[in-house]
């Protein structure tokens, strides 16, 4: 039965991955992601359902538009596969629980914000507001009022920690070192993580971003490196591995 649920969550994840990618591409451009038909970016032809089946359509069409035969960006297909795997992992790690809905929210935030930040270097405020409300609701259902209030205080703490890091970075580099979206996003991290783990997520995200940043800057010195996706990868790793402050403290005692 568990294997069946894993397959179901994977399939649902591929469809949601396609939707999340559309949201990430359209929302920063102020284009509705709920209305209108999907279309080919090259010829503008409206796509049928058979053209948009996650993963399979791209494979069967050999990465080309059915109508104009131009190459299709593989971004959506990669995100569909990645989201499907993460949805299955979420169910495997948390089962049917409130934690599962928090994990699915983290996945949605990871995909949408990564697409938006990597494409436009923007983390839309609308997304941050939506996910703030989403996580507060599920934290309240899972933990109750008092513990949810503590998580909100944790969010404020991480927001100010990130803001302080930005001020220091601006002084050191003599320019804007971090986007406002990254700072606001840390409030959401605090809704999910223990404050100590929130700080660890900043450190881990920085470690993940460093090699990628060096590579990108070597190729293009003027290129700004989005930090949001790396922070979200760190958040996902910490939450999905059930990491606790005690585990980290015990590790360093060794």
Mind listing the pLDDT tens digit for each residue in 32-62?
777 666 666 656 556 666 656 777 777 776 7
CA distance 187 to 198: 9
Q: If residue 5 lies in a helix (H) or strand (E), which one and from where to where?
A: helix 2-26
Rounded to 10 degrees, what is the CA torsion of 245, 249, 251, 254? -170
- In whole angstroms, give the CA distance from residue 79 to residue 23: 12
On the CB side of 250, how many CA atoms lie within 13 Å of its CA? 5
pLDDT in tens, 153-191: 999 999 999 999 999 988 887 777 788 899 999 999 999
Question: Six-digit token pair at 79?
Answer: 């995100």
pLDDT of the residue at 37: 64
| Low-confidence winner among 63-67, 68-72, 156-160, 219-223 (lowest mean pLDDT) | 219-223
pLDDT at residue 137 greater than cutoff 60: yes
Is the sign of the CA dihedral 82, 83, 84, 90 positive or negative? Answer: positive
Residue with tokens 């999340």: 20
Nearest Cα to 59, choosing from 44, 82, 41, 81? 81
Report whether pLDDT(195) > 60. yes
Write down the number of H helices and E strands in the chain: 10, 0
How many alpha carbons lie under 13 Å from residue 175 in its C-beta half-sphere?
A: 2
Whole-angstrom distance, CA of residue 234 vs CA of residue 223 = 22
What pLDDT score was predicted for residue 222?
Answer: 58
The sign of the torsion formed by the CA atoms of 115, 121, 126, 128 equals: positive
How many other CB atoms sit within 10 Å of the CB of residue 36? 10
DSSP letter assigned to residue 51: G
User: Are residues 111 and 20 in contact, defined by beta-carbon separation less than 8 angstroms?
Assistant: yes
Cα gap 154→148, rounded to integer Å: 10
Q: Is the pLDDT of residue 249 over 90?
A: no
Query: Would you call 205 helix, strand, or coil by DSSP?
Result: helix
Rounded Cα gap, residues 16 and 79, in angstroms: 9
Q: What pLDDT is recorded for position 69?
A: 67
> Taking the alpha carbons of 99, 104, 105, 109 in that order, is the dihedral positive or negative?
positive
pLDDT of residue 174: 77
Tens of pLDDT, residue by residue over 88-134, are 999 999 999 999 999 999 999 999 999 999 999 999 999 999 999 99
């Amino acid at each position: 039965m568990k294997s069946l649920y894993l397959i179901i969550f994977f399939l649902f994840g591929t469809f949601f991955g396609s939707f999340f990618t559309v949201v990430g591409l359209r929302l920063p451009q102020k284009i509705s992601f709920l209305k209108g038909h999907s279309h080919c970016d090259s010829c503008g032809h409206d796509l049928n359902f058979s053209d948009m089946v996650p993963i399979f359509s791209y494979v069967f069409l050999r990465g080309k538009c059915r109508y104009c035969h131009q190459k299709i960006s593989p971004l959506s297909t990669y995100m569909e596969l990645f989201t499907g795997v993460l949805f299955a992992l979420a169910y495997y790690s948390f089962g049917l629980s409130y934690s599962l809905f928090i994990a699915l929210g983290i996945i949605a935030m990871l995909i949408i914000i990564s697409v938006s930040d990597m494409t436009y270097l923007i983390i839309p405020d609308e997304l941050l507001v939506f996910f703030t409300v989403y996580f507060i609701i599920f934290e309240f259902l899972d933990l109750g009022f008092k513990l949810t209030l503590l998580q909100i205080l944790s969010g404020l703490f991480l927001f100010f920690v990130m803001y302080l890091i930005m001020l220091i970075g601006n002084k050191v580099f003599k320019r804007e070192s971090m986007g406002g979206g990254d700072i606001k996003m840390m409030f959401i991290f605090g809704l999910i993580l223990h404050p100590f783990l929130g700080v660890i997520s900043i450190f881990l995200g920085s470690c993940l971003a460093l090699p990628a940043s060096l590579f990108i800057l070597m190729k293009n010195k003027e290129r700004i490196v989005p930090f949001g996706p790396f922070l979200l990868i760190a958040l996902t790793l910490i939450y999905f591995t059930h990491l606790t402050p005690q585990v980290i403290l015990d590790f360093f005692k060794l």
